[in-house]
Every structure is written in C-alpha cells, then in structure tokens.
Amino acid sequence: MTTPFGARLRAAMDARGPVCAGIDPHAALLGAWGLSDDVSGLERFAMTSVEALGPEVAVVKPQSAFFERHGSAGVAVLERVVAGCRELGALVLLDVKRGDIGTTAQGYADAYLDPRSPLAADAMTASPYLGFGSLEPMLATAERHGAGVFVLALTSNPEGPQFQHARTPDGGSVAGTVLAELAARNAGAEPWGSHGAVVGATIGRAPVSAEDLDVNGPLLVPGVGAQGGTAESVRAVFGDAVRHVVPSSSREILGAGPDVAALRAAARRTNEQFAALVR
C-alpha cells in the first residue's frame, strides 16, 4: 500500500526542514525576473524555480491560477512543474482551492490526486464552504492513493472572518467546525494524519484555541516572510500546536530569483528560521 501522505510529509520535513516553498508566477514576479508575461516567461520562471527548490525543500506549492491564466499551454507547464519537483524529491501540494459537490468534486479529486492524471500531486488545497461533507470525494480519493487534502480554516485575508468567525447553531465558529472535522478524520493516525488545515500566519485574534488547532495533522501556514509572519508570531498564534506547522513562503523566497543559488539560499534561510520552532 502507498505510504500515507501524513507520514511522507513528516519524513520529508525531518530530512529537509519544515518549509513549503510556493511557486507563484504572477505578472509582477515575472517582470521582476526580467521575463515576459507569456508562456515563454512562465516556463522559464517555473522551471528555474523547480531546479532551485525541488532538491532543497520538503514541499513545493505551485499556485494553479497563475498557470491556468495562460490557457492549455500554461497547464502543460504546470504538469512539468509537478513532475519535475517530484523527480527531485520534493512533495507537491497543488494550490487549487477547489470546492464543489458530488461528481464535480470527484472530478477535481481525480484531476489532482489520482496517479493516472498528469496533474496528480501529493496533496491539494480545498474549500469547505459548501459544507465539510462536500469534500468527501476529495478526502476519500486522497486516502485511496496515499495523498492529502489541506482545507481552508482560518485565512489572513480581511474578508475571511465574515464566514470563518461566524457562529454555528451550537455556538462554535465555522472555523472551529472545520478544525474539529479534520481532527476526527485524522484520529489515531501516526505520526500524524494526511489531512491538514490552512491557517494564516497573521490571523490575529481567532475564535479558536491552540488546542483546537491540533488536528493531528499538518497546519499549512501561509503568510510568513514578506507578508509579515515570523517564527515568533507563529509560536504566539499556534502554542503547542506549533509542532504541526508547515510554514509556507512564496514572495520572500521567489524575490531572490532568478539566480538558482540565491533562490536556494533564501529557502535555506527560511528553513533555518522555523526548524527549531517546529522540531
């Protein structure tokens, strides 16, 4: 049987450090690298990032939207990014934030988690706002193939609290419900479960406790580095659950490009900042 994603992620973090490095080829970064905002520039940016980060970090997180905006040729580049990172030993978390019901949700699961798909990654991001149960096709497909799902719980964007902090009939918060569902799904897994929560590094006051954040699975924490999250602020937010944190950095690392050595050095610095925190 395929080793579960949670176990593979823990082993990769132990070997390479905790950081998840984003590959976000948006127009501003392409320009900063001196590249054209077209498929040629996209491919140069993406494959340089793969060369630099694939052998260095535990997890690489391509943002699908920045590839999709270039049409089918951009998606073809994304396929090469996924394959290239995995060949170099990094796990791939495909940032797609999909959320739908029934056969459509299953279609997304097949696209991103079934090994027969050219876009199959080790894990994907998902949105639970059609109800946590709507994610069942993605969760079940992930479990069948030893993959994982990271579910949005508490994000740092200013619009997030409108839904995530809202109270449910039992008096809890929507975010708390998502975390509780993940904890139940991961119950009993060793060293931890394969399904994680997305919790921003700069969420500030949140309607959950550090105990709620311990879902016996990974906590993907975007927003470190350029967006203001530090090792100290992450420790303050996550308390004892900090050992589950997978800090995610995109702009801070990618801003060091296009030099491959500089990109690797930036990733290494971020790893060093967080290694002691989550060990």
User: Which of the residues are catalytic?
Assistant: 97
Separation between Cα atoms, residue 99 and residue 139, nearest integer Å? 12
Which whole-number Å values give the CA distances from 134 to 92, 108, 121, 138, in the listed order?
23, 12, 20, 9
Alpha-carbon gap, residue 115 to 236, rounded angstroms: 38
HSE-CB at 124 with a 13 A cutoff on CA atoms is 28
The per-residue DSSP string of the chain comes to: -PPPHHHHHHHHHHHH-SPEEEE---HHHHHHTT--SSHHHHHHHHHHHHHHHTTT-SEEEEBHHHHHTTHHHHHHHHHHHHHHHHHTT-EEEEEEEE---HHHHHHHHHHHH-TTSTT--SEEEE--TT-GGGGHHHHHHHHHHT-EEEEEEE--STTTHHHHTPBPTTS-BHHHHHHHHHHHHHTT-SS--SEEEEE-TT--S-SS-HHHH--SS-EEEE-BSTTSB-HHHHHHHHGGGGGGEEEEESHHHHTTTT-HHHHHHHHHHHHHHHHHHH-
